[in-house]
Each structure stands twice: as structure tokens, then as C-alpha cells.
Amino acid sequence: MIPLLAVDLLLMLPALLLLGVVFLLPLLRDAWLSLHASTVVTGLMAVPNGAANWWRLFDDARFRQDAFQTVRFTGVSVALELVLGLGLALLLHRPGRGRALLRALVLLPWALPTTVMALGWRWILNDPHGPLNGLLQAVGLPTFGFLTTPSTTWLAVVVADVWKTTPFVALLLLAGLQSIPVDLVEALQLEGAGRLTILRRLTLPLLAPWIALALLFRIAQSLGVFDLIQVLTGGGPAGSTESLAMYAYRQSLRFLDFGYGATVLMATFLLLLLPGVIWLLLQNRLPRRTA
Amino acid sequence: MSGLQLQQLSRRCGDRLVLEHLDLAVAPGECLALLGPSGCGKTTTLRLVAGLDPCSGGRILLNGEDITARPAGEREVAMVFQSYALFPHLDVGENLALGLRSRGIPRAERDRRIASVLELLQLTALVRRRPAQLSGGQRQRVALARALLRQPRIVLLDEPMSNLDARLREELRPELRRLLCGGEPPVLYVTHDQQEAMGMADRIAVLQAGRLEQVGGVRELYTDPASRFVADFLGRPAINWLPGRDGTALGLRPEHLRPRPEGGLQARPERREWWGHQQLLWLETPRGTLRMLLPEGAEAGAEGLRVGWRAADELWFDAAGQRLSAEGPWRQGLESGAV
């Protein structure tokens, strides 16, 4: 007879092995590499160099700029997605004809591969030939370099990201809305509560765990943003839209500085860990809801 | 006219008539039970009165005033939901306060009313608990407390006890009656449980397929059912049916069958259920299977007996299910059973 704990461990083994191979191993390898020099100069051999990569990171203005840009992109786009997604979810939650069709339509941007939609946006925003500038010209306005103005191009990236991922947030929150029993809303209606009171006192509090979940997903995804920006702006103009993931990619695969690339990646990982930790803390503080 | 009047109330859902020209009146302080199988329209009626669903036709009058078009929030209705509809993110006190707050009642008044209703329902000790931390009976009491806080003009109860076990239901019935009925507002009580309806209500309205079958006092419905459906729906164990002539049917309540030394029908006991104070016999007779209730002491031989009934206890119905008088050609062939 095998002891119960051993059975538990045995049953978990495949999953643990998989996690170990695809998560833990690369992570450890990355941490290890971040303490080595591995460049063209070293013949791409890993040579221990202590904390040299990390000292370089703390002094790297481009890293700081990219960290700021990544956090700014994440903050603004996730906030917009949350507000728009909530509005959309509330709209889709209302009974009415053609709701299923509307739901499918809303989901389309999210179903599109990021590179395809990024190419689409690159053309829409093209200066001067894109449709958006065409519209500006049609009403007699000058064209604008949406993707070539360093101070505002990050906003174009935000717009494209919001366009693509608002449906995801909306769908998640819609599932949350549908989990709220109709009885509760009706009970409050009978008390004479208006729509705003119901939203504030009932819907939003009950939606809080779903909002937290959407935030967690979106923040983690946004902090690691790569493909959208790579295709839309390539990090430009003048590095004004470059993200941390792109910087790590460049260090490793363009400059072939694998040691420093690993360091940037590790720093990005630690940054990503932050929202996860905050979420866990919040979850412990939020009241437990069991049915 | 005081009290609640429903006039020709109808509700259509797409092509389906959920409720058809319902006429009902509930006097102030009267408890009227809406009884029927699921899908009969009883909950629909309640929701129409509450204003949660729009009527497709007809009028709702409260103390002579037409409230058909009035939104739910302005009808001053207290409703106890089958699910209790307690707010899971709020504790008992906050659950009670939320409604009062959204009606703009000042804090001092709010606290006073909540404290008194908590006292009344012995919930004071549970005021900081959330619904998830309460038992079914406690949740029900909180739902009741919320209804009592309202000072409503109508009280509506939608299967308020169907989530409780039988014992608790029996205990709560008098309490529910004491707290909700007999005041000013008329009470509408929806249930599919005839025992609950008989225990709670002054009068019962039996609904079937969106139509009112019969409305009347509890005793009246049982002893003098207007239709075969009502006779069949009320009474446990269910009424026995014997086919008469020309599609008519004779209904005989199990407690009205008696063993006879002679006459009546020849019967053989097939099965016996012992209920403590009574026993239920399943009898095989030439006319089909009959259920007979016997007092605990009575004995029926295993080999066979003869059963009969009093002519006054016969309930006759025509092929369409409408009640027939106790005298008529349809009795031919079965009068032998009556003694």
C-alpha cells in the first residue's frame, strides 16, 4: 500500500515535470546567464563576470526609458481597456435582439492575429497615404505623422492595443455579469433603487473578483508586450515606443549580447512578478465569497 | 374597493400564453395562495404584480388605484424570493440597510427600524454574518426581515420555503403567518406544495396552464372541487379515479374508502405502507387499483376484503373534467359500491 502523500505526488508528477521543463529550467538558465558574459567577443561562450551585467543595467538609460515606456503603455492601455470593456460588457449584458451576433462581432478584433492587425493599423496610420490621413485631408486638415512623431506615437500603439484587447476584457466581465443572479438585481429594483445605485452597490462589488482577474491578465500581458510594437513601429521613432521585451530581444539577437539580454529579461520578469504579488495580497484582503 | 384586484390579467411570451385573463381579488390582510404545478403561471402572476415583468393585457388595482403601468420600484411591494436574493457581499445588517438607503431613509430611522426587525426575528446575534455563513433557515429569516422592513402595500412570497427541509417548514409556517398576514397589505403566496398552501392561506387559487381553475377556501377546494384537475391536484395520497359511463369519471378520496362486510367491490391488498398513525393500502379490484387509507388499528385481511364508500363522498366529473352533480345516469354500474 502506497502512502497517500506519495500517491498525491505521483499524480502531480507529470504536471510538475512539464512546469519544470517549460518554466523553471529556462528561468534558472536565464538567471545563470545574467551572471555571465556571452557575446561575440567571448565567442558566444558563457564566461562568469559576477554582477557586471546587473551594474550595467542600473546605469543603462535606455533600460530605464524602456521600463518607463512599458509601464506607461501598460497603465494607460489597461485602464482604457477596463473602462471600455466594462461599458461594452454592460451593453452586451442587456437583453435584446441580435445579442449573440453582436457578441461575435465584438470578439473579432481579439480573434485576429496580432501581427495581422498591427500591419492593418500601420497602414491605417500611414503618413500620408493611410486612410486616416486621407480622412484628415478630405476635411481640409494637414496630414499627421501618427507613427513618426516621437512624443505621440506611443498613443497610437495604445489605440491599437485597446482596439484589440478591449473585447477580451469585455468578454471576461460579461461572464462575471452573467454570474450575478437576476434575483439580486430585482430585489434591489423593488426597493426603488435606480440603475446607478444597482451598478454601484450591487454589480460592481460582485464584479470585483472578475475585474481583478482581467487586470491581472492584462497587466501581465502588457508588461511583456512585443509583437504589436515590433510590427507597428519597430520600437521607433527614436526608441520612443520600445518595450522591455523588445530591448531584451535586441540585446540578445541583434547585438548577440546574450549575457546582458538575459539580465534585461530577468529584470522584466521581476517587474512582471509585481502585479502577481499585488493580486495575491489583494485577494487575501478581499472578503471570501463562497456560494 | 380596497385590497388587490387583478382584472383579466394576461401575459404572453412570444407566441405562448403564460397567463390568460386572470381575475382575482385579495382582501386587505388576506393571504391568498397561488397553487399549481410548475409552469402554471403562478410565479408569472407574482412577477406581474411586483412589476418585474410587463403585462400583455388586463389591469392591476391596489386599493382602487390602477398600478398596472407603475414601475416596480414605486409599487411599494415586499417580496421574498425563492432564492432569498440576499446580497452575498454584504452582511445581514448591510443587507437590510441597502434597500432603506436607496430609498433615502435617514440613518437614525434606518438603524431603529433594522434593530427592531432584527429583534423580532432573533437575528441580532447574526448581524455581522454574511449570507454564506448562515444556515438555510437563517437566510430565510433575513429575507423575511428585509420584507418586513418595507412597510409594504403588498406582500409577495415566491416559494419562500422550498429550500428548507420539511421539519423547518412546518415550524416556520405559523411564524410566517403571524408576521406577514393579518396586517393591512394583501398577501400573495406562490407555492407548488399543497400542504404549505393549506397551512398558510386563507384562500387558495389553483392555476393550471395559465388559467384559473378554482379559487376558494381551503376546505371548499378539497371537499367541493370544481374540476377534475383540482380534485386530482389536492389531497395526499392522491384521489382514486374510477371510469364511469360516457367518459365520465368518479373520484374517491382514499380516506373515504371503507371495508364492508358485503356489497361494494371485491379487493385484494397488493401493497401496504405504514405511516405511523395510518396505513395506506393498494388494493387490486375489478375496476382497477385503488388507494385506501386506514386508521392504524384497523385490519384488512391479506386474502381479500370488500370496499365501499358513502354516496355523499362521490365526486363526479364529465369527459372535459367539469364537475357533475352526484345524481345522474353516470352513476349506473358503480352505485353498487356506495353504501
* 3-state SS track over A51-78: CHHHHHHHCCHHHHHHHHHHHHHHHHHH
A132 falls within a domain: yes
Mean pLDDT of chain A: 88
Contact B79/A at CB under 8 A: yes
Separation of alpha carbons B216 and B211, rounded Å? 15
Residue B247 has pLDDT above 90, yes or no: no
Give B284's strand partners.
B268, B289
Distance from CA of B194 to the nearest CA of A (A): 25
**Would you give the DSSP letter of residue A178?**
H
State what percent of residues in chain A have pLDDT above 70.
97
The order of strands in the sheet holding B31-35 is: B77-80, B154-158, B187-191, B31-35, B203-208, B211-217
pLDDT in tens, B125-147: 998 999 999 988 889 889 988 98
What's residue B85's pLDDT? 92
What's residue B48's pLDDT? 93
- pLDDT band, very low/low/confident/very high, at B302 (cuts 50, 70, 90): low
What's residue B182's pLDDT? 77
Residues B22 and B151 in one domain: yes
User: Comparing A204 with B180, which gets the higher pLDDT?
Assistant: A204
Distance from CA of A147 to the nearest CA of B (A): 47
- pLDDT band, very low/low/confident/very high, at A222 (cuts 50, 70, 90): very high
DSSP, residue by residue, B103-169:
TT--HHHHHHHHHHHHHHTT-GGGTT--GGGS-HHHHHHHHHHHHHHT--SEEEEESTTTTS-HHHH
Residues B130 and B33 in one domain: yes
A225 falls within a domain: yes
Residues B145 and B252 in one domain: no
Q: Kindly list the residues from chain A whose CB atom is less than 8 angstroms away from the CB atom of residue B74.
A: 192
Between the two ends of chain B, the Cα-to-Cα distance in Å is 48
Beta strands in chain B (DSSP E): 4-13, 16-26, 31-35, 57-62, 65-66, 77-80, 154-158, 187-191, 203-208, 211-217, 240-243, 249-252, 258-260, 265-274, 278-285, 288-295, 305-308, 315-317, 323-324
- Of B114, B52, B118, B58, the C-alpha closest to B85 is B52
B338 falls within a domain: no
Q: Could you tell me the pTM of the whole model?
A: 0.80
B177 falls within a domain: yes
Residues B102 and B151 in one domain: yes
Q: Which residues are within 8 A (CB) of B318 and not within 5 positions of it... i.e. 6 or more apart? A: B247, B248, B324
Separation of alpha carbons A132 and A144, rounded Å? 9
A243 falls within a domain: yes
Chain A residue closest to B91 (CA)?
A287
What is the three-class DSSP state of B325? coil
| CATH number for position B208 | 3.40.50.300
B336 falls within a domain: no
Mean pLDDT of chain B: 88
B52 vs A190: CB contact, 8 Å cut-off?
yes
- pLDDT band, very low/low/confident/very high, at A289 (cuts 50, 70, 90): very low
Angle between helices A204-223 and A61-93 (to 10 degrees): 150
What's residue B157's pLDDT? 92
Chain A residue closest to B94 (CA)?
A201
A189 vs B72: CB contact, 8 Å cut-off?
yes
User: Comparing B92 with B297, which gets the higher pLDDT?
Assistant: B92
Backbone angles phi and psi of A208, in degrees to 5: -50, -45
Residues B219 and B265 in one domain: no
A184 vs B87: CB contact, 8 Å cut-off?
yes
pLDDT in tens, B68-78: 999 988 888 99
- Asked if residues B191 and B197 have their Cβ atoms less than 8 Å apart, the reply is yes
Q: Kindly list the residues from chain A whose CB atom is less than 8 angstroms away from the CB atom of residue B103.
A: 191-192
Q: B269: burial class by Cβ within 10 Å (0-12, 13-18, 19+)?
A: middle
Smallest Cβ distance to A190: which of B73, B88, B89?
A: B73
Residue type, A33: L
A189 vs B99: CB contact, 8 Å cut-off?
no
Beta strands in A38-133 (DSSP E): 47-48
CB atoms within 10 A of CB A16: 12
B319 falls within a domain: yes
Residues B195 and B267 in one domain: no
CB atoms within 10 A of CB A65: 14
Mean pLDDT value of segment B164-178? 84
Distance from CA of A291 to the nearest CA of B (A): 6
A186 vs B103: CB contact, 8 Å cut-off?
no
Domain count within chain A:
1
Residues B103 and B241 in one domain: no
Residue B335 has pLDDT above 70, yes or no: no
Residue A288 has pLDDT above 90, yes or no: no
| CATH number for position A114 | 1.10.3720.10
A183 vs B83: CB contact, 8 Å cut-off?
yes
Structural domain of residue A167, as residue ranges? Answer: 35-283
Residues B64 and B189 in one domain: yes
Separation of alpha carbons A149 and A133, rounded Å? 14
Mean pLDDT value of segment B154-159? 92
The residues of A whose Cβ lies within 8 A of any Cβ of B are 181, 183-184, 186-194, 197, 201-202, 205-206, 287, 289-291
Strands B31-35, B187-191: pairing is parallel
**Would you give the DSSP letter of residue A23?**
I
B324 falls within a domain: yes
Taking every pair of C-alpha atoms in chain A, what is the biggest distance, in angstroms? 84
Q: Domain boundary residue among B202, B228, B254?
A: B228
Domain count within chain B:
2
- Asked if residues B28 and B74 have their Cβ atoms less than 8 Å apart, the reply is no
Q: Domain boundary residue among B185, B211, B228?
A: B228
Distance from CA of A213 to the nearest CA of B (A): 18
Residues B269 and B185 in one domain: no
- pLDDT band, very low/low/confident/very high, at A291 (cuts 50, 70, 90): very low
Residues B246 and B215 in one domain: no
Mean pLDDT value of segment A264-276? 87
Between the alpha carbon of residue A66 and those of residues A139, A241, A267, the distances in Å are: 37, 8, 12
What is the three-class DSSP state of B213? strand
> Is the ipTM reported for this complex over the cut 0.85?
no
- pLDDT band, very low/low/confident/very high, at B338 (cuts 50, 70, 90): low
Residues B31 and B99 in one domain: yes
Q: Kindly list the residues from chain B whose CB atom is less than 8 angstroms away from the CB atom of residue A287.
A: 89, 130
Residue B307 has pLDDT above 70, yes or no: yes
A207 falls within a domain: yes
Structural domain of residue B134, as residue ranges? Answer: 4-228
Residues B176 and B64 in one domain: yes
